[in-house]
């Protein structure tokens, strides 16, 4: 069974305190690994797609990396507006359309 | 920036009633999806829709559920004979291309409460 597990469940950081979120996946042939941001009362907002081990992508203070078993979302010098739930999702080879989501990491950045 | 629009934002219904959740996908998108998130649980795939037919569905999407694109702009999810366990946030999403790794644009969701 395809599975995506995220850790930690919750993370509190001081503004400027860098950290990483983890996403481990067990899927039958990974087509793509996605990171989304979700604010309270909103739908997930796309951040990155990673396709192969060793790939990295950056956007402002966020950098996503991928290995054969895990993905990391690194947050450098976060600001309070980075506070959100970060979701990881995998697209397995057995399915062309559906994403399997993790349960998310709720990030709080304190000023 | 174009966005996916969902109505209503909140829907309260009695157990056993039928509900229709509505979505207006981004106008040039061709692929449409429904996901749901039960409170405190993961976002779960329900169904994908392309070229006026279902392309994939999950085990959750049984005969109680149906989807339709009644015109060129709307995409609906109908839930017949609602149960308490159908209470969840329902998200509509759309994407523009057929590539399997195409990013999805999500709406803000409809919070369905079944009493």
Q: What is the CATH number of the domain that holds A89?
A: 2.60.40.10
Q: Are the beta carbons of A103 and B107 separated by less than 8 Å?
A: no
Q: How many CA atoms lie within 13 A of B1 on its CB side?
A: 6
What's the burial of B93, exposed, middle or buried (CB within 10 Å: 0-12/13-18/19+)?
buried
B23 Cβ contact list (under 8 Å, min separation 6) = B4, B5, B6, B7, B32, B34, B74, B75, B76, B77, B92, B107
Percent of chain B with pLDDT over 70: 97
Nearest CA in chain B to A44: B106
- For chain A, say whether B100 makes contact (Cβ under 8 Å): yes
d(C-alpha B108, C-alpha B53), whole Å: 24
Structure tokens at A12: 């509190």
- The strand ranges marked E within chain B are 5-7, 10-13, 19-24, 31-37, 43-50, 53-57, 65-68, 75-79, 88-95, 105-106, 110-114
Residue B81: which of B22, B38, B19 has the closest Cα? B19
Give A-chain residues touching B33 at CB under 8 angstroms: 97
Domain total of chain A: 1
**Nearest Cβ partner of A96 from B44, B56, B109?**
B56
What's the burial of B111, exposed, middle or buried (CB within 10 Å: 0-12/13-18/19+)?
middle
Q: B5, B101, B109, B110: which to substitute to probe chain A, counting the most A Cβ within 10 Å?
A: B101
Element (DSSP H or E) covering residue B23: strand B19-24
Q: Each residue of B50-67: pLDDT tens digit?
A: 989 999 999 999 999 999
**What pLDDT does residue B61 have?**
96
**Model confidence at B97: pLDDT above 80:** no
- pLDDT (average), residues A26-36: 88
Give A-chain residues touching B42 at CB under 8 angstroms: 101-104
d(C-alpha A68, C-alpha B106), whole Å: 27
Q: Are the beta carbons of A95 and B33 separated by less than 8 Å?
A: no
Residue-number span of the structural domain to which A101 is assigned: 3-110
Residue B73 lies in a domain: yes
Q: Confidence class of residue B102 from pLDDT cuts 50, 70 and 90?
A: confident
- For chain A, say whether B43 makes contact (Cβ under 8 Å): yes
Q: Are the beta carbons of B104 and A101 separated by less than 8 Å?
A: no
Residue-number span of the structural domain to which B50 is assigned: 5-96
**Nearest Cβ partner of A91 from B31, B35, B100?**
B100
Q: Distance, in angstroms, between A60 CA and closest chain B CA?
A: 19
Answer yes or no: are the C-beta atoms of B56 and A98 closer than 8 Å: yes
Q: Each residue of A66-89: pLDDT tens digit?
A: 999 999 999 999 999 999 999 999
**Model confidence at B100: pLDDT above 70:** no
d(C-alpha B66, C-alpha B68), whole Å: 7
Residue B83: which of B54, B53, B57, B115 has the closest Cα? B115
CB atoms within 10 A of CB B92: 29
CATH number for the domain harbouring residue B12: 2.60.40.10
Q: Are the beta carbons of A87 and B43 separated by less than 8 Å?
A: yes
CB atoms within 10 A of CB A41: 10
Residue B27 lies in a domain: yes
**What pLDDT does residue A31 have?**
85
d(C-alpha A22, C-alpha A10), whole Å: 11
Domain total of chain B: 1
């Amino acid at each position: 069974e395809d599975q995506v597990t995220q850790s930690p469940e919750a993370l509190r950081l001081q503004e400027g305190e860098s950290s990483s979120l983890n996403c481990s996946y067990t899927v039958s042939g990974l087509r793509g690994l996605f990171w989304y941001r979700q604010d309270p009362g909103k739908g997930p907002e796309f951040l990155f797609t990673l396709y192969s081990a060793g790939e990295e992508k950056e956007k402002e203070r966020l950098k996503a990396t991928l290995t054969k078993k895990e993905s990391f979302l690194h947050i450098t010098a976060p600001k309070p507006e980075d506070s959100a739930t970060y979701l990881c999702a995998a697209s397995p080879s057995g399915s062309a359309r559906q994403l399997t989501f993790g349960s998310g990491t709720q990030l709080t950045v304190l000023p | 920036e174009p966005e996916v629009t969902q109505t209503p934002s909140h829907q309260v219904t009695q157990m056993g009633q039928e509900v229709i959740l509505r979505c207006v996908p981004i106008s040039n998108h061709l692929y449409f999806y429904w996901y749901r998130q039960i409170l405190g649980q993961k976002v779960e795939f329900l169904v994908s829709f392309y070229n006026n037919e279902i392309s994939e569905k999950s085990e959750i999407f049984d005969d109680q559920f149906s989807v339709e694109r009644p015109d060129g702009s709307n995409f609906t999810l109908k839930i017949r004979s609602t149960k308490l366990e159908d209470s969840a946030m329902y998200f509509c999403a759309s994407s523009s291309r057929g590539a399997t790794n195409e990013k999805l644009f999500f709406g803000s969701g409809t919070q369905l409460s079944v009493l």
